[in-house]
């Protein structure tokens, strides 16, 4: 199964480091402000951390601004648009993607890339096999073809009677297909187009 060459990998990583540093410099103040607001809004530590599966199947800690309050009655990692755990301010942070900004640090330290397969929680990516293993040959991304294709994922899941099952049997397999296709046809210009599409919505 084709994956990125060594030269392509170096090119991609160099771009990630440069853009991550620029992003942290420009939005550092916004990350701090969002963290403080989220801390008050969720009545807890405003930074959300979660173990995700990254390159080579290695787990890493993903950082986001917290947008939900915990619930003893809801334990799923699948989030729908009408999830009662999401706060009012949290909905704004999620819609504006401000909650994703701390992942600039994940990109800078090498856990993630700007573009790539979205990192999944254990139980999904670590179960990949066959041709799909190519997904674990690269760093997961903040955005990517599957992320953009399912940009309204939370609304799709909210319309399902069993969101967990629908995500596992329908959405996730399609994401795998899109990510394999992306890696088989990777080029730097395509990454730039995906970043642009993410920014302009």
pLDDT in tens, 176-188: 999 999 999 999 9
Helices 188-200 and 6-42 cross at an angle (nearest 10°) of 20
pTM of the model: 0.90
- pLDDT tens-digit map of 145-189: 999 999 988 889 888 999 889 999 999 999 999 999 999 999 999
CA distance 89 to 42: 9
* Residue 58: C-alpha distances to residues 52, 67, 97, 125, 136 (Å): 8, 26, 26, 10, 9
Which pLDDT score is estimated for 123?
A: 83
Mean pLDDT, rounded, for 94-112: 96
Sequence-distant contacts of 82-90: CB under 8 A, at least 24 apart: 82/158, 83/154, 83/158, 87/41, 87/42, 89/37, 89/38, 89/41, 90/38, 90/41, 90/42, 90/66
What per-residue confidence (pLDDT) applies to 79?
76
pLDDT tens digit sequence for 52-78: 999 999 999 999 999 988 776 776 777
Inform me whether the pLDDT recorded for 105 exceeds 80.
yes
Q: How far apart are CA 178 and CA 170, in angstroms?
A: 13
Coil, helix or strand at residue 53: strand
Q: Work out the pLDDT band at 91, boundaries 50, 70, 90.
A: very high
| Segment 79-88, tens digit of pLDDT | 776 778 889 9
In the chain, % helix, strand, coil (3-state, to 5) comes to 55, 10, 30
pLDDT at 127: 80
Q: Rounded CA gap, 51 and 49, in Å?
A: 7
- % pLDDT > 90, the chain: 70
- For CA atoms 155, 159, 161, 165, the dihedral sign is negative
Per-residue confidence at 24, pLDDT binned at 50, 70, 90? very high
- The whole-number pLDDT of residue 80 equals 74
């Amino acid at each position: 199964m084709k994956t990125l060459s060594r030269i392509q990998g170096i090119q991609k990583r160099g771009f990630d480091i440069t853009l991550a540093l620029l992003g942290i410099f420009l939005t550092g103040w916004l990350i701090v402000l969002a963290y403080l607001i989220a801390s008050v809004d969720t009545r807890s530590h405003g930074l959300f951390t979660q173990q995700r599966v990254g390159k080579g199947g290695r787990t890493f800690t993903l950082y986001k601004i917290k947008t939900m309050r915990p619930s003893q009655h809801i334990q799923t990692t699948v989030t729908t648009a009408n999830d009662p755990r999401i706060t009012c301010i949290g909905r704004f942070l999620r819609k504006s993607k401000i909650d994703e900004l701390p992942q600039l640090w994940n990109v800078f330290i090498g856990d993630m890339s700007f573009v790539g397969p979205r990192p999944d929680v254990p139980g999904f990516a670590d179960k990949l096999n066959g041709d799909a293993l190519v997904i674990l040959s690269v760093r997961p991304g903040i955005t990517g073809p599957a992320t953009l294709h399912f940009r309204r994922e939370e609304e799709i899941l909210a319309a399902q009677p069993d969101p967990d099952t629908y995500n596992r049997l329908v959405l996730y397999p399609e994401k795998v297909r899109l990510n394999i296709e992306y890696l088989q046809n990777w080029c730097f210009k395509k990454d730039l187009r995906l970043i642009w599409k993410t920014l302009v919505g």
